[in-house]
Structure 1
Amino acid sequence: MTTAAPTAAVSLSALLRQPVTDSDGHRMGSLADLIVRLRHDDYPLVTGLVVAVGGTRVFVSAADLAALAPDRIQLAVSTVDLREFRRREGEVLLSEDVLGHRLIDVSRAAFVKAYDIQLTPVLDGWAATGLDVHRRRWLSLGPRHAAHPPRDWKDFEPLIGHAESAQVRLATGRIPELKPAQIADIIEEANEHEQDELLAQVHEDPELEADVFEELDEDSQSELFKDRSDAEVAEVLARMQADDAADALMDLPQERRVPVLDLLPEPQRSRVHRLLGYHDLTAGGLMGTDFLALPSTATVADAFTAVRGARLVQPQALTTIYTLAPDGALEGALTLVKAVQADPGLTLAEVADLDVVVASPGDDVIDVTTRMADFNLLTMPVISEDRHILGLITVDDALEAAIPQDWSRRESNHRETGSES
């Protein structure tokens, strides 16, 4: 692991366009950029300089660097290769790719801009160790330096946008560390090139990709699916919750819906097909197909075993265990907390609440969310006329239906506005 020495740090803005001299002190050109290689869990190491010699940009290895300071950039050699610089795979140019570009503040899950880059001598050369993301501090050596020191490079995820080095950079990406909802918010704010880089990282984990697409707003989701083939869309929908997949399917152009649906694997295709029959502003359109229901004769211990085994069921749907009569009709409900507090040997019929608050598939969404709020419910079953469970509405879906979309937009805008203060 690289150990930085902050007291010897220098800013990139102070170095750019400074004269570069050879070992004898003769001017060879001026500094146009610094080349680094991103490293997993370590600071990017400077591997070379891009020096402007006349009208040509040439490469100089970092191994040939004798001194690097705001007033002195000197090489340890007297000659350099004057062939035009060509970037190699995996190389990142600090000025061209990072300085002045947007990055992601990983701790805040928000976009910021890089106004300067701190370089520090390390055991194996020089490394980019810090970033200045404050608009008012363009020159890190100015009077505001003490008030706003550069922050650690590792707090950020740069979006380089260089296609040829994208595959190498995937190994160092930190986007998967964020929550799916945070990634979705960032993708919605990103431009096309930033989205490409974000989605490339997310695509490495298919489950994460599905979770992120579940969190995207309808417009962003539709726009991103537009450029994917039917098979690629189906691959994502196959991993999404059935209710979210059904909503996403209906947002596709009409001519794509059946082909994508036909490509879904069973049992996801059957779940989605069943949900398509409900209007999205009803309980049926809001419900998901995940729930846990056991015969009322089962014991509390049996319920725990069922919960442990329900690895494919979304966690929100496991906060309540439902009990069934011999004919399969809904009989009672038992919260997971109450189950933990009960004797494991008791039957569910002995501990379940028989007065279950339910919804019918045609119930209005507003009525449903109001009912869940009135009774402090984390889940509410949607039942048929003969009281068989058709699906389950979870509190996260109820909140999404109840909270206006512009609230989340206002919060996102506030985060970005405050990121450069």
Structure 2
Amino acid sequence: MASARVFVARMAGLAVFGPDGEQIGRVRDVVVSLRVDSRPPRVLGLVVDLSARRSIFVPMLRVSDIAPSAATLASGSVNLRGFDQRPNETLVLGELLNSSVTVRESGAVGVVVDVAIEPTRTRDWAVAKVAVRFRRAGLSRRPRVEVHGWESVSGLDVAATQGADRLLAVFDTMRPADVAAALSRLPDGRQRQVVDALDDERLADIFEELSESDQRELLTYLGDDRAADVLEAMSPDDAADLLGELPDDEAGRLLELMEPGESEPVRRLLRYEWDTAGGLMTPEPITLSPDATVAEALARVRHPEVPPALASMVFVVRPPTATPTGRYLGGVHAQQLLRAAPFELVAGLVDTELPQLGPETGLGAVTRWFASYNLVAGPVVDTEGHLLGAVTVDDVLDHLLPQGWRDRDLASAEVRHGATDGHPQDSGVRGA
């Protein structure tokens, strides 16, 4: 693959040849996947016009060389299905050129006249530079054109250039923590468009990752009824953390609006101080009776809605198994379940030697417990031996970090998807 930087405007109409030297068409445009932050977007592929007046998509991994006179494809078949642009994709020539941008350092405003792409070490291609034209200054008869790095200009991210529907399509490919970071950087109007379009379950996942200030602001915007619905969809410990930051009358009002079955575990958590095992725990760990089989336990562990930390251990209690009623017998590590026969009973695998955490155990002692036993989940048991819930290491880390750490502008983790050799409809996703 060519290692030189290529300006996309010069690729318009460029001949495209197959590996056997036969021309198959000409470049019409370049497809990129814009990001919600300032990092350079990935180049997904080329839109190629065939002689039959039809356009197809060619992934960049199928392009072996881009020269001034032609682009050459590597060996292999090309999917001839017509190109259909997806919501999370942007055309460089058709959509990015003529966009207004601002140079971050100087504040100068200009118009994009070209975009340069170049290969990366991983054989992907990414946008590297942006050519920006500025208005004529002074007595100059020509407009000034400058080339800047992608990170040096603002106005080309998804939030700035795309509608709410396309922004939501990008968010659908991201983890809740990354969506929360991106959402906090959006202007208020766009932020509220996104919040209105998200369903309660997805919004609850994102809410759990927002800073306290963003949570309170958006909770006010949602109104009491929808705020209560979102709180119901959140995990009880996260909902309790959020309600604990609100004035008592507001928290009480939202609790009254929640369904009793959803509000009751939250009320229980609010009885404990935030920096105790009781305040940190989730009241919904995986609980089983002693006569449950290993197969039943593994089925519970494999449930897609169970967080990884909670899936690391199942807790065995005498019936009734729902917290806080069951008498705690011990825990079974997920690795033990994987090594046991499916028909074995979990009662025979219980770790009875693992020390328990009390609901009043302080954050420091909880932290030392995790450091001592190298686990990611631990049982919280009251003085009468009832299992109240489980503390997970992610909740401990959340409370150990400085207050307001989510307010910092941390770069979101990059979500990568492999490019396909054919049209994206054959493989689902073609870009990050």
The bucket for the TM-score relative to the shorter chain is 0.5 to 0.7
Does the aligned pair in 2 maintain the 1:290–1:317 contact within 8 Å? Answer: no
Query: 1:82 aligns to what?
Result: none
Which of 98, 101, 105 lines up with 1:99 in the alignment? 101
Note the alpha carbon deviations across 1:207-228, whole angstroms, 9 max, x for none.
Answer: 2211110011212211221222
Aligned AA (2:288): L
Paired with 1:205 and 1:114, the residues of 2 have a C-alpha distance of: 38
Q: Does 1:336 align with 2:345?
A: no
Runs of 4+ in 1 over 6 A off after TM superposition: 130-134, 140-144
Paired with 1:285 and 1:224, the residues of 2 have a C-alpha distance of: 24
Deviation at 1:409, TM superposition (A): 5.4
Q: 1:262 to 1:149 in 2, by over 3 A?
A: closer
Q: Does 1:324 align with 2:281?
A: no
Query: 2:191 aligns to what?
Result: 195
Paired with 1:408 and 1:41, the residues of 2 have a C-alpha distance of: 26
Deviation at 1:138, TM superposition (A): 4.2
Paired with 1:282 and 1:316, the residues of 2 have a C-alpha distance of: 19
Does the aligned pair in 1 maintain the 2:204–2:234 contact within 8 Å? Answer: yes
Greater shift after overlay, 330-339 or 294-303?
Answer: 294-303
Query: 2:372 aligns to what?
Result: 374
Paired with 1:340 and 1:114, the residues of 2 have a C-alpha distance of: 60
Does the aligned pair in 2 maintain the 1:230–1:256 contact within 8 Å? Answer: no
For these two proteins, the number of residue pairs brought into alignment is 308
Identity over aligned pairs, percent: 27
Does the aligned pair in 1 maintain the 2:132–2:146 contact within 8 Å? Answer: no
Aligned AA (1:226): T
Q: Secondary structure at the match of 2:222?
A: coil
Q: Secondary structure at the match of 1:174?
A: helix
Note the alpha carbon deviations across 1:51-88, whole angstroms, 9 max, x for none.
Answer: xxxxxxxxxxxxxxxxxxxxxxxxxxxxxxxxxxxxxx
Deviation at 1:377, TM superposition (A): 1.3
Paired with 1:197 and 1:398, the residues of 2 have a C-alpha distance of: 33
Q: 1:170 to 1:363 in 2, by over 3 A?
A: same
Greater shift after overlay, 271-280 or 247-256?
Answer: 247-256
Does the aligned pair in 1 maintain the 2:178–2:412 contact within 8 Å? Answer: no
Paired with 1:177 and 1:344, the residues of 2 have a C-alpha distance of: 35
Q: 1:42 to 1:400 in 2, by over 3 A?
A: closer
Paired with 1:291 and 1:39, the residues of 2 have a C-alpha distance of: 39
Segments of 5+ residues of structure 1 without an aligned counterpart are: 11-37, 48-91, 103-112, 121-129, 416-421
Aligned AA (1:43): T
Deviation at 1:46, TM superposition (A): 8.0
Report the RMSD for the aligned CA atoms in angstroms.
4.1
Q: Secondary structure at the match of 1:116?
A: strand
Q: Secondary structure at the match of 2:332?
A: strand
Paired with 2:315 and 2:262, the residues of 1 have a C-alpha distance of: 22
Query: 1:248 aligns to what?
Result: 242
| 1:298-309 equivalent positions in 2, closer than 5 A | 298-308=292-302
Deviation at 1:115, TM superposition (A): 7.4
Deviation at 1:9, TM superposition (A): 5.7
Query: 2:90 aligns to what?
Result: 43
Aligned AA (1:329): R
Paired with 1:173 and 1:354, the residues of 2 have a C-alpha distance of: 48
Paired with 1:345 and 1:251, the residues of 2 have a C-alpha distance of: 47
Which structure ranks higher in relative contact order (CA pairs < 8 Å, sequence separation ≥ 6)?
2
Does the aligned pair in 2 maintain the 1:284–1:361 contact within 8 Å? Answer: yes
Aligned AA (1:355): E
Which of 231, 253, 273 lines up with 2:267 in the alignment? 273
Paired with 1:305 and 1:39, the residues of 2 have a C-alpha distance of: 36
Q: Secondary structure at the match of 1:158?
A: helix
Q: 1:41 to 1:173 in 2, by over 3 A?
A: closer
Aligned AA (1:247): D
Aligned AA (1:276): L
Paired with 2:127 and 2:193, the residues of 1 have a C-alpha distance of: 20
Q: Does 1:7 align with 2:21?
A: no
Instruction: Give the TM-score of the pair, scaled to structure 1.
Output: 0.61
Query: 1:157 aligns to what?
Result: 158
Deviation at 1:379, TM superposition (A): 0.4
Greater shift after overlay, 265-274 or 281-290?
Answer: 265-274
Query: 1:227 aligns to what?
Result: 221
Q: 1:373 to 1:133 in 2, by over 3 A?
A: farther
Does the aligned pair in 2 maintain the 1:116–1:131 contact within 8 Å? Answer: no
